[in-house]
Amino acid sequence: MNIIKVKDSAEGAQQAFQIYKDILSHGQAKVLGLATGSTPIALYNQLVESDLDFSNIVSVNLDEYLGLSGNDSQSYRYFMNQHLFNKKPFKHSYVPDGLRADHNAAAKEYDDIITDHPIDLQLLGIGRNGHIGFNEPGTSFESTTHVVNLTQSTIDANARFFDNESDVPTQAISMGIASVMSAKKILLLAFGADKADAIAATVNGPVTEDVPASILQNHEDVTIIIDDAAASKL
Ligand code: GLP
C-alpha cells in the first residue's frame, strides 16, 4: 500500500486531484469508479474547476440507497449530479438503481456493467467500521453487487445528512468487494479522527471480513491518502 500523509483534507484533495490529472492526461483511464460521502467532495470540486475533460470517460459509482429515486436530494445519484456530473458531463455515468423492484436483477445488471467497463481507478472513502462502498463488516470478500442491510453504526453516521434519523434508508445496493478489488488501481481517502481506528485496522490489522477495507492489503496498486488525524493510530 502506498500511503500518502497530508496535513489536512484540503491538501489530501490536492494530492488526489494530481493522481486524476496524471492518469487522465496520459489517457490511462477510460472508466472511473466513483464514491459518495463527504470525503470526496473537495476532490470533486477540484475536478469541476479543472480543465479536465470527462466526455470520453465512463463512471461507475459504488452504491445507492434502496427506495430513493435519483431525484431525491438524499440519493447518491442526486449527490453525484450535484457535485460532479451536472458540471462535468461524462460519456455515461452509472449509479445503481435504488428503485428497481427486482433488486437481484438490478444487481446482476450492475455486475454486467462493471464487466463491460473494467474500472481503471476506483475511488473509495471508508466508514468508521471499515466499510467500503456499503460493504459492511462480515461481507464476503467474494461478493459482487448485492443488497445490503446497513448497520446501526452506518445509519448513525449518515443520519447527519437527513432531517430525522428515521428518514435514513436501512438498505442499499452496493458494488461488492470482489468488484472493488477488480479495479486496476484503487485510491482511498480518509480524513479526520473518526477514521483513525478504521485506517489502523485497514493498514496494520489482519485481512479479515470483519474489516472490509483490510482486503486492500491484497491489492497490488492501492494508494491511501490520509490526514494526520486519520493516521493518528498507525
Ligand atoms: C457511506 C458511503 C461510503 C463512504 C462512507 C463514508 O457509507 N456508502 O462510500 O465512504 O459513507 O462517508 P464520509 O466520507 O462522509 O465519511
Percent of the residues in the chain that have a pLDDT greater than 90, as a whole number: 92
Q: Is 164 a catalytic residue?
A: no
Q: Is 61 a catalytic residue?
A: no
Whether residue 158 has pLDDT greater than 90: no
Domain 2-227 is found in CATH 3.40.50.1360: yes
Whether residue 181 has pLDDT greater than 90: yes
Residue of the nearest CA to atom 10 in ligand 1? Answer: 125
pLDDT value for 139: 97
Percent of the residues in the chain that have a pLDDT greater than 70, as a whole number: 100
- Cβ–ligand 1 contact at 35 (below 6 Å): yes
Q: State the Cα–Cα distance between residues 113 and 67, nearest whole angstrom.
A: 21
Pocket test for ligand 1, best of 34, 123, 129, 131 (most atoms within 8 A of CB): 131
Place of cell 479526520: 192
Whether residue 95 has pLDDT greater than 90: yes
Pocket test for ligand 1, best of 9, 36, 149 (most atoms within 8 A of CB): 36
Domain ranges for the chain? 2-227
Residue 26 grid coordinates: 496520459
- Cβ–ligand 1 contact at 62 (below 6 Å): yes
- Cβ–ligand 1 contact at 175 (below 6 Å): no
Confidence label for 6 from pLDDT (cuts 50, 70 and 90): very high
Q: State the Cα–Cα distance between residues 189 and 39, nearest whole angstrom.
A: 7
- Cβ–ligand 1 contact at 9 (below 6 Å): no
Q: Is 219 a catalytic residue?
A: no
Q: Is 136 a catalytic residue?
A: yes
- Buried residues in 42-59 as b, exposed as e (16+ CB within 10 A): bbbebbeeeeeebeebbb
